[in-house]
């Protein structure tokens, strides 16, 4: 895979980003995990893996996602709880239920749920 000349930082270490790393999902999209029973709304996107080495090593080796893809920060929920999740692009699918997320922090980041997506608060946009 071709690499860019842009140097990013991952846990304090420089990394090379893929030349063409395209996010399939956008902030405000409601997604679900491909393998686990949870869904969430995207509130931030990293072009490549940008969490700690310790976090990455905790993932069972056979399930570790590639680092050279977008990773998404989600306000996530399952039937038992609400939490923040960090998920690779390869493990996400668009949620087609057209139901809002019940996470308690949704209203802090988003104005409304419209057409199956959340609209980011204007005060948080550039």
| Span 23-54, pLDDT tens digits | 999 999 999 999 999 999 999 999 999 999 99
pLDDT digits (tens, 9 = 90+) for 56-81: 999 999 999 999 999 999 999 999 99
This prediction has a pTM of 0.82
Paired sense of beta strands 92-94 and 30-33, if any: antiparallel
Q: Which domains does the chain have, with CATH numbers?
A: 20-124 (2.30.30.390)
The pLDDT value given to residue 70: 97
- Determine contact, residues 3/69, Cβ cutoff 8 Å: no
50 three-class SS: coil
Instruction: Return the higher-pLDDT residue of 43 and 14.
Output: 43
């Amino acid at each position: 895979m071709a690499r860019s000349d842009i140097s990013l930082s991952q846990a304090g270490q420089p990394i090379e980003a893929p030349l063409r790393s395209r996010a399939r999902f956008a902030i405000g999209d409601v997604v679900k995990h491909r393998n686990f029973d949870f869904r969430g709304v995207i509130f931030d996107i990293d072009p490549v893996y940008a969490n700690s080495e310790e976090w990455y090593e905790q993932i069972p080796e056979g399930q570790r996602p590639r680092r050279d893809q977008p990773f998404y920060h989600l306000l996530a929920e399952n039937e038992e709880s609400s939490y923040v999740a960090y998920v690779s692009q390869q493990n996400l699918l668009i949620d087609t239920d057209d139901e809002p997320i019940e996470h308690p922090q949704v209203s802090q980041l988003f104005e409304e749920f419209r057409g199956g997506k959340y609209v980011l608060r204007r005060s948080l946009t550039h």
